[in-house]
Structure 1
Amino acid sequence: MSYLLSIAGLLVVFALALLASSDRKKIKVKPLLIMVVIQIALAGLLLNTQFGLILIQGIAEVFSQLLKYANEGVSFVFGGMANEGASPFFLNVLLPIVFISVLIGIFQHLKILPFLMKGIGLLLSKINGMGKLESYNAIASAMVGQSEVFITVKKQLGALPAHRLYTLCASAMSTVSMSIVGAYMTMIEPKYVVTAIVINLFGGFIISSIINPYTVDDREDILIVQDEEKQTFFEMLGEYIMDGFKVAIIVGAMLIGFVALMAAINHTFELIFGISFQTIMGYIFAPIAIIMGIPMAEAVSAGGIMATKLITNEFVAMMDLTKIASTFSPRALGIISVFLVSFANFSSIGIIAGAVKGLNEKQGNVVARFGLKLLYGATLVSILSGIIVSIVL
Structure 2
Amino acid sequence: FFTSALLPIIMIVPLFDILTYIGVLPFVIKWIGKGLAFITRTPKFETFFAIEMMFLGNTEALAVSTLQLKQMKAERNLTLAMMSMSCVTAALIGVYTHMMPAAYILTAVPLNCINALIVTNILHPVRVSAAEDIVAKIDSAERQPFFSFLGSSIIGAGRLVLIICANVIAFVALAALIDKLLVLIHPSITLENILGCILFPCAWLRGLDTGEAFQLAQYMGTKLITNEFVVMLSVQDSMAGFSTHMQGVLTVFITSFANF
TM-score after normalising by structure 2: 0.73
Tell me if the contact between 1:282 and 1:299 (Cα under 8 Å) persists in the aligned partners.
Answer: no
Q: Distance between the aligned counterparts of 1:119 and 1:178, measured in 2?
A: 23
Tell me if the contact between 1:314 and 1:340 (Cα under 8 Å) persists in the aligned partners.
Answer: yes
Residues 145 and 326 of structure 1: CA distance in aligned 2, closer, same or farther (over 3 Å): closer
Gaps in structure 1 of 5+ consecutive residues? 1-89, 347-393
1:314 aligns with 2:222: no
Q: Distance between the aligned counterparts of 1:273 and 1:194, measured in 2?
A: 40
Greater relative CO (CA pairs within 8 A, separation 6+) = 1
Q: Distance between the aligned counterparts of 2:63 and 2:187, measured in 1?
A: 48
Q: 1:294 aligns with which of 200, 208, 226?
A: 208
Q: Distance between the aligned counterparts of 1:259 and 1:288, measured in 2?
A: 27
1:336 aligns with 2:250: yes
Q: Distance between the aligned counterparts of 1:255 and 1:330, measured in 2?
A: 34
Residues 341 and 123 of structure 1: CA distance in aligned 2, closer, same or farther (over 3 Å): farther
1:223 aligned partner, one-letter code: V
Displacement of 1:289 in angstroms is 0.7
Alignment of 1:196-275 (within 5 A): 196-225=108-137, 230=146, 250=165, 254=168, 258=172, 261-262=175-176, 269=182, 272-275=185-188
Instruction: Report the count of equivalent residues.
Output: 247
Gaps in structure 2 of 5+ consecutive residues? none
1:95 aligns with 2:12: no
For residues 118-171 of structure 1, give each alpha carbon's deviation from its aligned partner in whole angstroms, at most 9, with x where no partner exists: 554333212221111211222333444444434544444344333322222222
Q: Distance between the aligned counterparts of 1:107 and 1:122, measured in 2?
A: 24
Residues 160 and 257 of structure 1: CA distance in aligned 2, closer, same or farther (over 3 Å): closer
Displacement of 1:304 in angstroms is 1.0
Residues 143 and 119 of structure 1: CA distance in aligned 2, closer, same or farther (over 3 Å): farther
2:130 aligned partner, one-letter code: D
Alignment of 1:156-167 (within 5 A): 156-167=68-79
2:165 aligned partner, one-letter code: I
> SS where residue 42 of structure 2 aligns?
coil
2:79 aligned partner, one-letter code: T
Q: 2:106 aligns with which of 166, 189, 194?
A: 194
Residues 190 and 268 of structure 1: CA distance in aligned 2, closer, same or farther (over 3 Å): same
**Matched-pair identity in %:** 29
Q: Distance between the aligned counterparts of 1:184 and 1:330, measured in 2?
A: 18
Displacement of 1:267 in angstroms is 6.2
Residues 314 and 224 of structure 1: CA distance in aligned 2, closer, same or farther (over 3 Å): same
1:339 aligned partner, one-letter code: F
Q: Distance between the aligned counterparts of 2:180 and 2:237, measured in 1?
A: 18
Tell me if the contact between 2:104 and 2:248 (Cα under 8 Å) persists in the aligned partners.
Answer: yes
Displacement of 1:307 in angstroms is 1.0
Displacement of 1:189 in angstroms is 1.9
